[in-house]
Amino acid sequence: MPGSESTVLSVAHISTEPGERAEGYVELGERQDHQPLRLPVCVINGAEDGPVAYLQAASDGDELNGVAVMHRILQDLSPGKLRGAVIAVPIVNVPAFHAGRSANPVDGKKMNRCFPGSKTGTSSERIAHFLFNEAVLQADFCIDLHQGGVSPMIDECRVRVNKSDRAGRASFEMGRVFGIGYIFHKKGPDGQLARAAPARGIPTIDPELGGTRGWARDSIRKGVQGVKNVLCYYDMIEGEPIIPERQVVTRKHRTVLCNRGGFLAFRQSLGALVRKGDVLAEIRDPFGHVVEEVKAPVDGVLWSHPPYPMVSTGQRIATIGAQVRYV
Ligand SMILES: [Zn+2]
Protein backbone atom coordinates (compact mmCIF):
# COMPACT_ATOMS: atom_id res chain seq x y z
CA MET A 1 0.00 0.00 0.00
CA PRO A 2 1.45 3.40 -0.92
CA GLY A 3 2.61 5.59 1.91
CA SER A 4 2.74 2.85 4.50
CA GLU A 5 6.52 2.74 4.62
CA SER A 6 9.00 5.50 5.39
CA THR A 7 10.54 5.89 1.98
CA VAL A 8 11.53 8.50 -0.54
CA LEU A 9 8.49 10.07 -2.18
CA SER A 10 8.98 11.70 -5.58
CA VAL A 11 6.93 13.37 -8.28
CA ALA A 12 9.20 13.65 -11.33
CA HIS A 13 12.41 15.31 -10.04
CA ILE A 14 10.75 16.69 -6.88
CA SER A 15 11.93 14.24 -4.28
CA THR A 16 11.63 14.00 -0.49
CA GLU A 17 12.90 11.85 2.33
CA PRO A 18 10.59 11.35 5.33
CA GLY A 19 10.47 14.59 7.33
CA GLU A 20 11.20 16.75 4.27
CA ARG A 21 9.29 19.15 2.09
CA ALA A 22 10.13 19.96 -1.54
CA GLU A 23 8.47 22.15 -4.10
CA GLY A 24 9.19 23.23 -7.62
CA TYR A 25 8.00 23.09 -11.20
CA VAL A 26 7.71 20.11 -13.50
CA GLU A 27 8.18 20.79 -17.21
CA LEU A 28 5.57 19.24 -19.47
CA GLY A 29 6.08 20.06 -23.15
CA GLU A 30 6.32 23.58 -24.51
CA ARG A 31 4.14 26.63 -24.94
CA GLN A 32 3.88 28.49 -28.25
CA ASP A 33 6.86 30.71 -27.41
CA HIS A 34 8.91 27.47 -27.12
CA GLN A 35 9.25 27.96 -23.36
CA PRO A 36 8.42 24.99 -21.15
CA LEU A 37 4.91 24.54 -19.72
CA ARG A 38 5.58 24.30 -15.98
CA LEU A 39 3.32 22.71 -13.37
CA PRO A 40 3.79 23.73 -9.70
CA VAL A 41 4.22 20.65 -7.49
CA CYS A 42 4.69 20.40 -3.72
CA VAL A 43 5.55 17.21 -1.85
CA ILE A 44 5.39 17.16 1.95
CA ASN A 45 6.71 13.87 3.27
CA GLY A 46 5.76 13.39 6.92
CA ALA A 47 8.24 12.24 9.54
CA GLU A 48 5.85 9.43 10.50
CA ASP A 49 4.13 6.77 8.39
CA GLY A 50 0.61 7.24 7.16
CA PRO A 51 -1.50 7.65 4.03
CA VAL A 52 -0.56 9.69 0.96
CA ALA A 53 -3.01 12.46 0.04
CA TYR A 54 -3.15 14.01 -3.40
CA LEU A 55 -4.62 17.52 -3.59
CA GLN A 56 -5.15 19.50 -6.76
CA ALA A 57 -6.74 22.85 -7.68
CA ALA A 58 -7.54 24.92 -10.78
CA SER A 59 -8.36 21.93 -12.95
CA ASP A 60 -10.68 24.52 -14.47
CA GLY A 61 -8.44 27.51 -15.08
CA ASP A 62 -10.86 30.16 -13.78
CA GLU A 63 -11.66 28.36 -10.50
CA LEU A 64 -9.37 30.11 -8.06
CA ASN A 65 -10.87 29.43 -4.60
CA GLY A 66 -9.05 26.09 -4.49
CA VAL A 67 -5.71 27.81 -5.12
CA ALA A 68 -6.27 29.94 -2.00
CA VAL A 69 -7.17 26.80 -0.04
CA MET A 70 -3.87 25.28 -1.18
CA HIS A 71 -1.96 28.33 0.03
CA ARG A 72 -3.35 27.91 3.53
CA ILE A 73 -2.99 24.13 3.67
CA LEU A 74 0.56 24.06 2.28
CA GLN A 75 1.69 26.83 4.63
CA ASP A 76 0.05 25.23 7.67
CA LEU A 77 1.38 21.70 7.13
CA SER A 78 4.74 20.81 8.59
CA PRO A 79 6.53 17.57 7.65
CA GLY A 80 7.62 17.13 11.27
CA LYS A 81 3.97 17.00 12.40
CA LEU A 82 2.54 15.03 9.48
CA ARG A 83 1.77 11.30 9.44
CA GLY A 84 1.95 10.18 5.83
CA ALA A 85 2.48 12.58 2.95
CA VAL A 86 0.77 15.21 0.84
CA ILE A 87 1.33 15.69 -2.88
CA ALA A 88 -0.19 18.97 -4.03
CA VAL A 89 -0.57 20.63 -7.43
CA PRO A 90 -2.03 24.11 -6.83
CA ILE A 91 -2.56 24.92 -10.54
CA VAL A 92 -3.38 21.90 -12.70
CA ASN A 93 -4.69 23.50 -15.88
CA VAL A 94 -1.86 25.97 -16.44
CA PRO A 95 -2.82 26.86 -20.07
CA ALA A 96 -6.44 27.63 -19.04
CA PHE A 97 -5.26 29.53 -15.96
CA HIS A 98 -3.11 31.81 -18.16
CA ALA A 99 -6.07 32.36 -20.47
CA GLY A 100 -8.39 33.10 -17.51
CA ARG A 101 -10.93 30.55 -18.61
CA SER A 102 -12.27 27.16 -17.68
CA ALA A 103 -11.03 25.00 -20.55
CA ASN A 104 -7.54 24.61 -21.97
CA PRO A 105 -7.34 26.92 -25.05
CA VAL A 106 -4.79 24.62 -26.73
CA ASP A 107 -7.28 21.79 -27.27
CA GLY A 108 -10.57 23.32 -26.08
CA LYS A 109 -11.03 20.51 -23.54
CA LYS A 110 -12.11 20.54 -19.93
CA MET A 111 -9.37 18.92 -17.88
CA ASN A 112 -11.98 17.12 -15.82
CA ARG A 113 -13.04 15.07 -18.83
CA CYS A 114 -9.49 13.91 -19.63
CA PHE A 115 -8.49 11.58 -16.77
CA PRO A 116 -6.65 9.22 -16.71
CA GLY A 117 -5.13 10.98 -19.73
CA SER A 118 -2.91 9.94 -22.58
CA LYS A 119 0.85 10.26 -22.97
CA THR A 120 0.54 11.02 -26.69
CA GLY A 121 -2.82 12.83 -26.55
CA THR A 122 -3.83 16.49 -26.64
CA SER A 123 -2.43 19.10 -24.27
CA SER A 124 -5.03 18.44 -21.51
CA GLU A 125 -4.74 14.67 -21.92
CA ARG A 126 -0.95 14.84 -21.49
CA ILE A 127 -1.25 16.93 -18.31
CA ALA A 128 -3.88 14.51 -16.96
CA HIS A 129 -1.68 11.53 -17.84
CA PHE A 130 1.27 13.01 -15.98
CA LEU A 131 -0.81 13.83 -12.89
CA PHE A 132 -2.56 10.49 -12.85
CA ASN A 133 0.56 8.37 -13.18
CA GLU A 134 2.99 10.48 -11.15
CA ALA A 135 0.72 11.69 -8.36
CA VAL A 136 -2.72 10.06 -8.21
CA LEU A 137 -1.49 6.45 -8.38
CA GLN A 138 0.85 7.10 -5.44
CA ALA A 139 -2.05 8.36 -3.33
CA ASP A 140 -4.44 6.67 -0.91
CA PHE A 141 -7.07 9.36 -1.55
CA CYS A 142 -7.54 12.50 -3.67
CA ILE A 143 -9.24 15.87 -3.23
CA ASP A 144 -9.89 17.75 -6.49
CA LEU A 145 -10.80 21.35 -5.55
CA HIS A 146 -13.33 22.95 -7.90
CA GLN A 147 -16.10 25.56 -7.80
CA GLY A 148 -19.14 26.32 -9.90
CA GLY A 149 -17.12 28.48 -12.28
CA VAL A 150 -17.96 32.18 -11.96
CA SER A 151 -21.70 31.64 -11.30
CA PRO A 152 -22.95 31.92 -7.70
CA MET A 153 -23.40 28.45 -6.20
CA ILE A 154 -23.67 26.96 -2.73
CA ASP A 155 -20.55 25.41 -1.23
CA GLU A 156 -20.92 21.67 -1.81
CA CYS A 157 -18.95 18.46 -2.20
CA ARG A 158 -19.46 16.11 -5.13
CA VAL A 159 -19.08 12.36 -5.00
CA ARG A 160 -19.06 11.06 -8.54
CA VAL A 161 -19.16 7.30 -8.01
CA ASN A 162 -21.84 5.12 -6.46
CA LYS A 163 -21.34 3.12 -3.29
CA SER A 164 -21.12 -0.30 -4.96
CA ASP A 165 -17.46 -0.88 -4.03
CA ARG A 166 -14.96 0.02 -1.31
CA ALA A 167 -13.58 3.09 -3.12
CA GLY A 168 -17.12 4.32 -3.80
CA ARG A 169 -18.17 3.95 -0.17
CA ALA A 170 -14.92 5.57 1.02
CA SER A 171 -15.45 8.46 -1.43
CA PHE A 172 -18.91 9.13 -0.01
CA GLU A 173 -17.61 8.92 3.54
CA MET A 174 -14.84 11.40 2.64
CA GLY A 175 -17.51 13.71 1.17
CA ARG A 176 -19.39 13.53 4.47
CA VAL A 177 -16.21 14.15 6.47
CA PHE A 178 -15.32 17.17 4.29
CA GLY A 179 -18.30 18.61 6.13
CA ILE A 180 -19.29 21.49 3.88
CA GLY A 181 -23.01 20.89 4.47
CA TYR A 182 -24.20 19.84 0.99
CA ILE A 183 -23.26 16.70 -0.94
CA PHE A 184 -24.14 16.06 -4.58
CA HIS A 185 -23.94 12.28 -4.99
CA LYS A 186 -24.29 11.20 -8.57
CA LYS A 187 -22.15 9.21 -10.97
CA GLY A 188 -20.20 11.74 -13.06
CA PRO A 189 -19.22 11.79 -16.71
CA ASP A 190 -16.25 9.84 -18.07
CA GLY A 191 -12.88 11.51 -17.62
CA GLN A 192 -13.49 13.05 -14.20
CA LEU A 193 -10.71 12.51 -11.70
CA ALA A 194 -13.44 11.71 -9.17
CA ARG A 195 -14.34 8.72 -11.35
CA ALA A 196 -10.98 7.69 -12.80
CA ALA A 197 -9.21 7.47 -9.44
CA PRO A 198 -11.94 5.46 -7.63
CA ALA A 199 -11.89 3.11 -10.66
CA ARG A 200 -8.32 2.33 -9.55
CA GLY A 201 -9.41 1.91 -5.92
CA ILE A 202 -8.47 5.45 -4.78
CA PRO A 203 -11.31 7.33 -3.02
CA THR A 204 -11.75 10.83 -4.41
CA ILE A 205 -14.00 13.83 -3.81
CA ASP A 206 -14.68 16.92 -5.88
CA PRO A 207 -15.50 19.81 -3.52
CA GLU A 208 -17.21 22.71 -5.30
CA LEU A 209 -16.27 25.82 -3.35
CA GLY A 210 -19.04 28.24 -4.27
CA GLY A 211 -18.78 30.15 -7.50
CA THR A 212 -17.29 33.58 -8.11
CA ARG A 213 -14.80 35.62 -10.06
CA GLY A 214 -11.56 35.83 -8.11
CA TRP A 215 -11.66 34.71 -4.49
CA ALA A 216 -14.58 34.26 -2.05
CA ARG A 217 -13.39 34.29 1.55
CA ASP A 218 -16.18 32.24 3.02
CA SER A 219 -15.87 29.47 0.43
CA ILE A 220 -12.11 29.41 0.91
CA ARG A 221 -12.49 29.16 4.69
CA LYS A 222 -14.88 26.22 4.31
CA GLY A 223 -12.50 24.56 1.82
CA VAL A 224 -9.57 24.85 4.23
CA GLN A 225 -11.67 23.34 7.03
CA GLY A 226 -12.84 20.56 4.70
CA VAL A 227 -9.30 19.54 3.70
CA LYS A 228 -8.21 19.63 7.35
CA ASN A 229 -11.25 17.53 8.30
CA VAL A 230 -10.17 14.84 5.83
CA LEU A 231 -6.53 14.94 6.97
CA CYS A 232 -7.74 14.60 10.59
CA TYR A 233 -10.07 11.76 9.65
CA TYR A 234 -7.16 9.85 8.10
CA ASP A 235 -5.13 10.62 11.26
CA MET A 236 -2.49 12.53 9.27
CA ILE A 237 -2.71 15.67 11.46
CA GLU A 238 -3.83 16.33 15.03
CA GLY A 239 -7.37 17.43 15.73
CA GLU A 240 -10.98 16.42 15.34
CA PRO A 241 -12.96 16.97 12.13
CA ILE A 242 -15.69 19.61 12.43
CA ILE A 243 -18.68 18.01 10.71
CA PRO A 244 -22.26 19.40 10.74
CA GLU A 245 -24.74 17.11 12.52
CA ARG A 246 -26.96 17.14 9.45
CA GLN A 247 -25.87 17.55 5.83
CA VAL A 248 -28.02 17.71 2.71
CA VAL A 249 -27.47 15.02 0.08
CA THR A 250 -29.01 15.35 -3.37
CA ARG A 251 -28.80 13.03 -6.36
CA LYS A 252 -30.38 15.22 -8.97
CA HIS A 253 -30.03 18.72 -10.40
CA ARG A 254 -33.17 20.26 -11.86
CA THR A 255 -32.77 23.23 -14.23
CA VAL A 256 -35.31 26.07 -13.87
CA LEU A 257 -36.13 28.12 -17.00
CA CYS A 258 -38.02 31.39 -17.36
CA ASN A 259 -40.74 32.21 -19.89
CA ARG A 260 -40.32 35.98 -20.02
CA GLY A 261 -37.28 38.22 -20.52
CA GLY A 262 -36.12 41.02 -18.24
CA PHE A 263 -34.46 41.51 -14.90
CA LEU A 264 -34.30 38.74 -12.36
CA ALA A 265 -34.77 39.39 -8.63
CA PHE A 266 -34.55 36.37 -6.33
CA ARG A 267 -36.97 35.92 -3.45
CA GLN A 268 -34.97 32.99 -2.07
CA SER A 269 -31.32 32.78 -1.07
CA LEU A 270 -28.86 30.13 -2.22
CA GLY A 271 -29.19 27.11 0.05
CA ALA A 272 -32.89 27.78 0.81
CA LEU A 273 -35.12 24.72 1.08
CA VAL A 274 -38.01 25.31 -1.32
CA ARG A 275 -41.26 23.48 -2.00
CA LYS A 276 -42.72 22.83 -5.43
CA GLY A 277 -44.70 25.94 -6.39
CA ASP A 278 -42.76 28.38 -4.17
CA VAL A 279 -41.80 31.57 -6.02
CA LEU A 280 -38.04 31.49 -6.57
CA ALA A 281 -37.67 34.80 -8.35
CA GLU A 282 -39.57 37.48 -10.19
CA ILE A 283 -38.79 38.97 -13.57
CA ARG A 284 -39.34 42.69 -14.10
CA ASP A 285 -39.50 44.73 -17.30
CA PRO A 286 -37.31 47.85 -17.68
CA PHE A 287 -39.99 49.91 -15.84
CA GLY A 288 -39.95 47.59 -12.84
CA HIS A 289 -43.30 45.88 -13.48
CA VAL A 290 -43.32 42.22 -12.49
CA VAL A 291 -43.96 40.19 -15.68
CA GLU A 292 -43.37 36.68 -14.33
CA GLU A 293 -43.05 34.85 -11.04
CA VAL A 294 -40.78 31.87 -11.59
CA LYS A 295 -41.81 28.97 -9.38
CA ALA A 296 -39.89 25.94 -8.15
CA PRO A 297 -40.80 22.92 -10.33
CA VAL A 298 -39.84 20.47 -7.56
CA ASP A 299 -39.05 20.36 -3.84
CA GLY A 300 -35.34 20.90 -3.18
CA VAL A 301 -32.51 23.29 -2.39
CA LEU A 302 -31.75 26.45 -4.39
CA TRP A 303 -28.33 25.34 -5.59
CA SER A 304 -27.03 27.90 -8.09
CA HIS A 305 -28.04 30.76 -10.34
CA PRO A 306 -26.44 32.77 -13.16
CA PRO A 307 -24.03 35.60 -12.36
CA TYR A 308 -26.08 38.42 -13.98
CA PRO A 309 -29.70 39.46 -13.32
CA MET A 310 -30.65 39.85 -17.01
CA VAL A 311 -32.46 36.93 -18.67
CA SER A 312 -34.15 36.08 -21.96
CA THR A 313 -37.10 33.77 -22.55
CA GLY A 314 -36.02 30.17 -22.09
CA GLN A 315 -32.88 30.99 -20.13
CA ARG A 316 -31.76 29.07 -17.05
CA ILE A 317 -32.48 31.14 -13.97
CA ALA A 318 -31.50 28.57 -11.37
CA THR A 319 -30.62 24.99 -10.57
CA ILE A 320 -32.39 23.14 -7.77
CA GLY A 321 -30.82 20.22 -5.93
CA ALA A 322 -33.68 17.73 -5.84
CA GLN A 323 -34.43 14.39 -4.13
CA VAL A 324 -33.06 15.74 -0.85
CA ARG A 325 -32.10 13.43 1.96
CA TYR A 326 -29.82 13.92 4.94
CA VAL A 327 -26.70 12.34 6.42
ZN1 LIG B 1 -14.42 22.89 -11.98
pLDDT digit string, tens, across residues 225-264: 999 999 999 999 999 999 999 999 999 999 999 999 999 9
Q: How far is the CA of 70 from the centre of ligand 1 (A)?
A: 15
Do 47 and 104 lie in one domain? The reply is: yes
Domain of 297? 252-326
Q: 47 and 87, same structural domain?
A: yes
**Do the strands 83-89 and 36-45 form a parallel or antiparallel pair, or are they unpaired?**
antiparallel
Kindly state the average pLDDT of the residues 146-172. Answer: 96
Asked if the structure places residue 238 within a domain, the reply is no
How far away, in angstroms, is 241 Cα from ligand 1 center?
25
- Check: CB of residue 243 under 8 Å from CB of residue 176: yes
Q: How much is the pLDDT for 7? A: 87
SS3 3: coil
Calpha distance 256→274 (Å, rounded): 13
**In this structure, is residue 4 part of a structural domain?**
no
1, pLDDT greater than 90? no
Are 35 and 89 members of one domain? yes
Residue 4: band (very low, low, confident or very high) from pLDDT cuts 50, 70, 90: very low
Model confidence pTM above 0.85: yes
Question: How far, in Å, from the CA of 261 to the mean position of ligand 1?
Answer: 29
More confident residue, 296 or 5: 296
Alpha-carbon span 148 to 128, nearest angstrom: 21
Across the range 317-325, mean pLDDT stands at 96
CA of 244 relative to ligand 1 center, distance in Å: 24
Instruction: Please indicate, yes or no, if residue 242 is contained in any of the structural domains.
Output: no
Same domain, 228 and 258: no
* 179 in the same domain as 57: yes
Q: Report residue 6's pLDDT band, with 50, 70 and 90 as the boundaries.
A: low
65 C-alpha to center of ligand 1: Å?
10
Same domain, 257 and 229: no
Residue 5: per-residue pLDDT: 52
Q: Do residues 18 and 6 touch, judged by C-beta distance below 8 A?
A: yes
The DSSP symbol for 146 reads: B
Q: Within a domain: residue 259?
A: yes
Q: What is the distance between the alpha carbons of residues 220 and 217, in angstroms, rounded to a whole number?
A: 5
pLDDT tens for 45-54 read 999 999 999 9
> Do 107 and 22 have their domain in common?
yes
Ligand 1 center to residue 182 CA distance, Å?
17
- Judge whether 240 lies within some domain: no
290 and 180 in a common domain: no
What's the gap in Å between 253 CA and the centre of ligand 1? 16
Say whether both 194 and 52 belong to one domain.
Answer: yes
Other beta carbons within 10 angstroms of residue 9's beta carbon come to: 24
Domain check: are 187 and 268 in the same one?
no
**Cα dihedral angle (62, 66, 71, 77), rounded to 10 degrees?**
-160
Cα(211) to centroid of ligand 1, in Å? Answer: 10
Rounded to the nearest integer, the mean pLDDT of the chain is 96
